[in-house]
Structure 1
Amino acid sequence: MLSEQELIQIRRHLHQIPELALHEHETHDYLLQVVREMNQDHLEVREPEAMPTALMVLVHGTDPQRTVGYRTDIDALPVEEQTGLPYASHHPGVMHACGHDIHMTVALGVLSYFADHQPKDNLLFFFQPAEESESGGKQSYEKGLFSGKWKPDEFYGLHDNPDLPAGAIGCRMGTLFAGTTEVNIDLNGKGGHAAYPQDANDTVVAAAALIMQIQTIISRSIDPIQSGVITLGKISGGTIRNVITGHTRIEGTIRGLTQKMIEQIDERLKNVCEGVGRSYNMDIQLNLNQGGYWPVENNPALTKRFIKYMKSAPNVNFVETAPAMTGEDFGYLLAKFPGTMFWLGVDDDSQLHSATLTPKESAIQRGVDAITGFLEARMKD
């Protein structure tokens, strides 16, 4: 199996070759190279034609009662790295600013362990493209990657967390990550001269009213004990001060801790847009795009078992965490397969998506040990 030093070198190589969603060709080839160097006695490798940069590895068990899936994301972000590291990104304007290089390395470490220690159950390792954009989890499901022997009975995955100590495991019952929805609103009225408003239909005025109405959705339509967010981050309309514009666009995001809540917010937003449109006698077009970024809702039974193991494992520092309003497309796969997502602490002053993110590499081996220990315990149940 891969040593800690080998894992660190793998991570540093992956860090140098970040690629954007659905363009992870160099990353795919390197991952495949590492996998091919492992003991192949019990491994079956698949490169799905439907998603060319994806990689799937099935570890055949000795007496399989189930197939346990483990997913890692492989894409990077359009961020110019500012860490000054000797192994910084070789690709200008692209960086593993969300720590997916750590994710992949931990997955390879776990896979290498089970390549040398054949598991009882089948293990499916899924190296997934396009988490940061393009809804790679949803695409992989809809393109039929998980069928037959490649279908997991349960799914696990991690995300690194700069706020936790290096190597710590964090998790919680219920939702770990919020679901997200992109909001685009186009108001179409009638342009005209600023001196003759009666001959125009001002979309800026209507947009102001609409924005204020939208603010009441969370405060008056959502249970205050629960959590939801609507942020309208961009508004554009008009060209010059003395012309009434006939078109204004508002862009924003919705975040909620359950899919039911997101759908409730969506419905209220539709109602508000329709009402303001009637009040101002103009056409208001609302476009909502959630894609695969559903809430990461952990399965109760599997997560209870996961937390129980991590709390009792002698070499694991377990931390119970609060839900986060950031998004993760593993939520879509957890809506299709029962499973659990958890945090791996990487102890960094910089936050995720930062150009200076520098995870502590000491987290890698501790993550591998915690996950292999859990999977071995799971297969004894």
Structure 2
Amino acid sequence: MSLTEKELIAIRRTLHQIPEIGMLEFETQAKLLEIIERLPQTYLEIKKWKTAILVHVRGANPTYTIGYRTDIDGLPVTEQTGLSYASRHAGRMHACGHDIHMTVALGILSYFAEEQPKVNLTFIFQPAEENASGGKQLYESGSLNEWMPDEIYAFHDNPGLPTGAIGCRQGTLFAGTCEIHATFLGKSGHAAFPHQANDMVVAGAQFVNQIQTIVSRNVDPIQAGVVTLGHFAAGTTGNVISGKAQIDGTIRALTQGNNELIQKRVRKIAAGVAESFDCELKLDLHQGGYYPVENNQQTTAAFIDYMKKAANVDFIETLPAMTGEDFGFLLSKIPGTMFWLGVDSPYSLHSEHFAPQEGAIIKGVSAMIGYLSERQKMFVK
């Protein structure tokens, strides 16, 4: 039988206790495999890549493949929920709800392991969404080639939506992100003799100030972009001129074009500051696989149409968000749709207090079983 709501909640609580950082999800992988291998195996094929698991469900008419992806990693956060099933891994927590994601995927898989789909299904249990572009790594490894989806789906839980509600939109759902790491190297010296030094506090401050003009003077005002510098480290004490400034931040934009535009301006400003202060610059802009999550028009139209009409679904059309997700890389290669699943929590994603409502699990499973059952009819001749 398909996994019941009671069984799914128990699975979620087990997974919640064993969060692991990206590419180190060994215990999580073992637990997922244990559950998957207990399902009927008639239609299933399973393979691993590093800490990822790929499960192929053979369709009765295997002319088309629909993919479903879940991320499996946790965050370096110390849990403060007080739950009886809180994390057992010190300094690690499923603070982004990937335990919910995995559990919903297992619920959907358990249904189709028993009820053979009309087309192929590929379930992707993907590592390292939070820290190492796991989706990009997996795709580029070639491990997915044999079972490559023709279209693909995934969700992220949303603490701001009612429990079990489905949220989605056409176009961009999440921003593309890019890390900024800038180091300015000058010459330290005595505070009383500034002419004998090259002050990197001043250079860094100029970089910070000039960065603020990028979005306001380079990005189309009716589009969106964010440049945030959240870390500035320089110097050791007040009477010593610092010869080094380290500045770190992030770029967020709803299109890849704007993300690349902002990156270009950051490079030019950083180079200009280094030139004007006659100092050395080390600049690393790292985007990896964190592209904008741009939903495909056709798959998203079908998804929204189904969810609006489904009697057991509370559908909400949502606005784009500046959060990042490496599913954007997969969507740049495979047409598909990402959506929200409401979990109604007063605490935000990544909070040490984040505790999603477990009632969302069965609603998410039910909605996606319904959608995938309907969607596959499109491709059976």
Q: Which residues of 2 match residues 258-337 of structure 1 at below 5 A? A: 258-337=255-334
Deviation at 1:263, TM superposition (A): 0.4
| Structure-2 residue corresponding to 1:237 | 234
Q: Which residues of 2 match residues 1-381 of structure 1 at below 5 A? A: 1-48=2-49, 51=50, 53-148=51-146, 150-381=147-378
| Alpha-carbon displacement from aligned partner over 1:1-22 (angstroms, at most 9, x marks no partner) | 1111111111111111111111
Residue segments in structure 2 that go unaligned for 5+ positions in a row: none
Identity of aligned residues (%): 59
In structure 2, what is the Cα distance between the partners aligned to 1:7 and 1:233?
A: 39
In structure 1, what is the Cα distance between the partners aligned to 2:354 and 2:319?
A: 22
Deviation at 1:65, TM superposition (A): 2.5
Deviation at 1:54, TM superposition (A): 0.9
Query: CA RMSD of the aligned region, Å?
Result: 1.1
In structure 2, what is the Cα distance between the partners aligned to 1:291 and 1:23?
A: 19
| Alpha-carbon displacement from aligned partner over 1:243-267 (angstroms, at most 9, x marks no partner) | 2222111111111111111100000
In structure 1, what is the Cα distance between the partners aligned to 2:84 and 2:234?
A: 45
In structure 1, what is the Cα distance between the partners aligned to 2:188 and 2:93?
A: 44
SS at 1:31's partner residue? helix
In structure 2, what is the Cα distance between the partners aligned to 1:90 and 1:204?
A: 42
| Alpha-carbon displacement from aligned partner over 1:314-367 (angstroms, at most 9, x marks no partner) | 111000111111111111111111111100111111111111111111111110
In structure 2, what is the Cα distance between the partners aligned to 1:198 and 1:89?
A: 54
SS at 2:377's partner residue? coil
List, as ranges, runs of 4+ consecutive aligned residues in structure 1 with deviation greater than 3 Å: none
Deviation at 1:159, TM superposition (A): 0.6
Residue segments in structure 1 that go unaligned for 5+ positions in a row: none
Q: TM-score, normalised by structure 2?
A: 0.97
SS at 1:273's partner residue? helix
Aligned residue identity for 2:354? L
Task: Between 309-318 and 182-191, report the one with greater CA deviation.
Answer: 182-191
Aligned residue identity for 2:118? K
| Alpha-carbon displacement from aligned partner over 1:268-319 (angstroms, at most 9, x marks no partner) | 1111112222222222222101111111111111111111111111111000
SS at 1:108's partner residue? helix
Deviation at 1:186, TM superposition (A): 1.0
In structure 1, what is the Cα distance between the partners aligned to 2:203 and 2:16?
A: 47
Deviation at 1:227, TM superposition (A): 0.7
Count, aligned residues: 377
Aligned residue identity for 1:32? L
In structure 1, what is the Cα distance between the partners aligned to 2:61 and 2:258?
A: 41
In structure 1, what is the Cα distance between the partners aligned to 2:76 and 2:209?
A: 33
In structure 1, what is the Cα distance between the partners aligned to 2:229 and 2:100?
A: 33
Aligned residue identity for 2:113? A
Aligned residue identity for 1:166? T
